[in-house]
């Protein structure tokens, strides 16, 4: 780790808390965090990782806005990469919108609406980055990234190779893509549709209002599980009687059963334990295997509070 830290100089920080970089705001520390300010920094990082782990894949993780990520209380024993301000930009030409990998989705959605471009209004309610949205094929309100993404540019930290490819290469599916864990999305091209800016802004206002009415606040990472085919994870969790179920500092939202919230200063391991309890209860009651949409990072241990949670 020291080797990579030395190679990256002032861009690297040792022993960094990750909780504040996620919407859950809990969890432990990373051994090393590197903030890349340019593609050149990422090439240097790829070289440093190859030097430090000559015989295998480096334990590396890209982090965007941390809105789909839960970091274990024990932290992450590896290198976390974040993209700096040079990756936060939007450029519009005609109906094409090019966006940097670190750009906030809600910001991109609002800018597209102001420019009279339709197709990204749903994204105003998804508090992630463009890079995270590509990896997850984020979506909502009947659309997703796959509907608008035409090209992307990425670098693979395992090889240092930069590629520009058509969106088809990503095999985007329901909250999934074929991006490698070591691949960092640097920028994307989105194809949108000309529309009346006032109508676009109206749709944005409707999405915001719907979110306020239907989703809880507090510390969470959106939907914990993907929806099983033909059903909704929230409906199943609710029907299993899990709304309001608490393990230590984590609780299943009473407003939306597919959201798990955590108390301020709470424990990521409590959240992880509750995710497992919910999954097992839905399997026991309905024989349906819920699949986590939430990315869980690091080594979790079952929460001691789970003994009080009626497991
Ligand atoms: C209140 C709330 C509501 C939400 N609603 C929705 C919703 O409606 N629909 C939906 O799909 N999601 C929703 N989410 C989840 C989340 O916002 C999305 O999954 C989002 O796309 C994650 O982006 P991020 O930058 O926060 O990713 P992170 O949480 O930082 O990372 C998620 C994954 O993406 C990877 N990643 C991040 N940046 C890059 C990059 N530049 N290149 C390559 N990989 C990268 C990470 O390595 C990780 O595997 C919601 C979350 C919250 C908190």
Structural domain count of the chain: 3
CATH at 247: 3.90.78.10
Confidence of residue 247 (pLDDT cuts 50, 70, 90): very high
User: Ligand 1 within 6 A of 66 CB?
Assistant: yes
CATH at 18: 3.30.43.10
- Note the pLDDT of residue 25: 98
Give the domain range for residue 130. 88-214
- Residue 227 inside a domain? The answer is no
- Residue 149 inside a domain? The answer is yes
Kindly report the backbone phi and psi dihedral angles of residue 162, in degrees, each rounded to the nearest multiple of 5, phi listed first. -105, 135
Mutation pick for ligand 1 pocket among 19, 41, 67, 149 (CB with most ligand atoms within 8 Å): 67
Q: Helix or strand or coil: residue 50? A: helix
- Residue 226 inside a domain? The answer is no
Q: Compute, in degrees rounded to 10, the torsion defined by CA atoms 114, 120, 123, 125.
A: 50
- Looking at the structure, do residues 47 and 79 belong to the same domain, yes or no? yes
- Looking at the structure, do residues 151 and 265 belong to the same domain, yes or no? no
- Looking at the structure, do residues 99 and 208 belong to the same domain, yes or no? yes
- Looking at the structure, do residues 107 and 199 belong to the same domain, yes or no? yes
- Out of 55, 83, 111, pick the residue that ends a domain: 83
- Out of 182, 214, 246, pick the residue that ends a domain: 214
Q: Taking 90 as the threshold, does the pLDDT of residue 147 lie above it?
A: yes
Mutation pick for ligand 1 pocket among 39, 121, 222 (CB with most ligand atoms within 8 Å): 222
User: Using CB atoms within 10 A of its CB, is residue 208 exposed (0-12), middle (13-18) or buried (19+)?
Assistant: middle
The pLDDT of 138-160, averaged and rounded, is: 97
- Residue 225 inside a domain? The answer is no
Q: Which two tokens stand for residue 42?
A: 């990422």
């Amino acid at each position: 780790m020291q080797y990579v830290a030395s190679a990256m100089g002032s861009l690297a920080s040792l022993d960094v808390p990750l909780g504040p970089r996620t919407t859950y705001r809990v969890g432990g520390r990373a051994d090393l965090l590197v903030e890349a300010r340019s593609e050149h920094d990422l090439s240097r990082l790829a070289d440093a990782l190859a030097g430090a782990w000559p015989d295998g894949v480096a334990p590396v993780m890209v982090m965007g806005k941390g809105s789909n990520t839960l970091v274990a209380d024990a932290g992450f024993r590896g290198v976390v990469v974040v993209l700096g301000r040079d990756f936060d930009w939007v450029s519009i030409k005609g109906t094409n919108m090019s966006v940097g990998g670190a750009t906030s989705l809600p910001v991109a959605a609002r800018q597209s609406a102001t420019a009279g471009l339709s197709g990204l209004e749903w994204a105003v309610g998804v508090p992630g980055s463009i890079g995270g949205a590509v990896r997850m094929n984020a979506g909502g309100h009947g659309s997703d990234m796959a509907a608008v993404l035409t090209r992307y540019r990425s670098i693979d930290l395992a090889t240092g190779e930069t590629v520009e490819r058509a969106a088809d290469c990503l095999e985007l599916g329901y909250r999934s893509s074929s991006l490698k864990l070591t691949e960092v999305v640097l920028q994307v091209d989105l194809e949108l549709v000309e529309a009346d800016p006032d109508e676009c802004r109206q749709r944005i206002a409707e999405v915001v209002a719907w979110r306020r009415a239907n989703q809880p606040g507090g510390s969470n990472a959106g939907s914990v599980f993907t929806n099983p085919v033909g059903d909704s994870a929230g409906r199943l969790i609710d029907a299993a009687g899990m709304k309001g179920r608490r393990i230590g500092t984590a609780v299943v939202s009473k407003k939306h059963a597919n959201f798990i919230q955590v108390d301020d200063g709470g424990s990521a391991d409590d959240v992880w334990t509750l995710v497992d309890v919910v999954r097992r209860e839905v399997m026991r009651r309905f024989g349906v295997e819920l699949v986590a949409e939430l990315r869980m990072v690091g080594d979790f241990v079952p929460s001691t509070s789970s003994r009080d949670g009626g497991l």
